[in-house]
Amino acid sequence: MLPALIVMTGIAIVLGAALGYAAIRFKVEGDPLVEKIDAILPQTQCGQCGYPGCKPYAEAIAQGAAEINQCPPGGEEGIRKLADLLGREFKPLSEEHGVEKPKSVAIIDEQTCIGCTLCIQACPVDAIVGAAKQMHTVVDKLCTGCELCVAPCPVDCITMTPIPETVENWKWKYPVVEIRRVA
Partner 1 sequence: MRSLFRFHGGVKPATNKAASTTEPIVKAPLPGRLVVPLHQSIGGTPCPLVRAGQRVLKGELIGAADGNVSSAVHAPTSGLVKAVEPALMAHPSGLTMLSVIIEPDGEDRWAELERLNYRSTPPDELRDFVRDAGIVGLGGAVFPTHLKMNPGRESRTRTLVLNGAECEPYITCDDMLMRERAAGIVKGTAILRHLLQADEVLIGIEDNKPEAAAAMRAAVQAEGESMEVVAIPTRYPAGGAKQLIRVLTGIEVPHGRRSTDFGVQCFNVGTAYAVFEALTCGHPLISRIVTVAGNVDRPRNYEVLVGTPMSDVVRLSGQRADTNRYLMGGPMMGMRMPGFDVPVVKATNCILVASDALFPPPPPEQACIRCGECARACPADLQPFELYWFSRAKNFGKAQEYHLFDCIECGCCAYVCPSHIPLVDYYRFSKSEIWARERDKSASDQARERFEFRNFRQEREKEEKAARLAAKAAETRAKLATEPAVDCAAMAPAADAAEDPKKALIAAALARAKAQRAAIQPKNTDNLSAETQAEIEQIDARRRTTGSASAALAPAEADPSAPDTQP
Residues that bind partner 1 (CB under 8 A): 38, 41-45, 53-55, 124-127, 142, 144, 165-167, 169-175, 177-180
Quote the strand ranges of 45-164, DSSP E: 104-108, 128-129, 137-138, 158-162
Cβ(102)–Cβ(162) under 8 Å?
Answer: yes
The nearest distance, CB 153 to partner 1, in angstroms, is 19
Least distance to partner 1, CB of residue 45, Å: 5
Between 4 and 132, name the residue whose CB sits nearer to partner 1.
132
How many other C-beta atoms lie within 10 A of the C-beta of residue 84? Answer: 11
Q: Which C-beta is closer to partner 1: that of 5 or that of 182?
A: 182
On the 0-12 / 13-18 / 19+ scale of CB atoms within 10 A, 103 is middle
Question: With respect to partner 1, which residue has the nearer C-beta, 38 or 153?
Answer: 38
Cβ 138 to partner 1 shortest distance, Å:
13
Contact predicate 77/106, CB 8 Å: no
Check: CB of residue 118 under 8 Å from CB of residue 156.
no
> Is the CB of 96 or the CB of 165 nearer to partner 1?
165
Please tell me whether residue 147 adopts helix, strand or coil conformation: coil
Least separation in angstroms between residue 76's CB and partner 1 is 12
Separation of alpha carbons 126 and 132, rounded Å: 15
Whose Cβ is closer to partner 1: residue 44's or residue 69's?
44
Q: How far is the CB of 103 from partner 1 (least distance, A)?
A: 9
C-alpha 70: how far from its chain's center?
Answer: 10
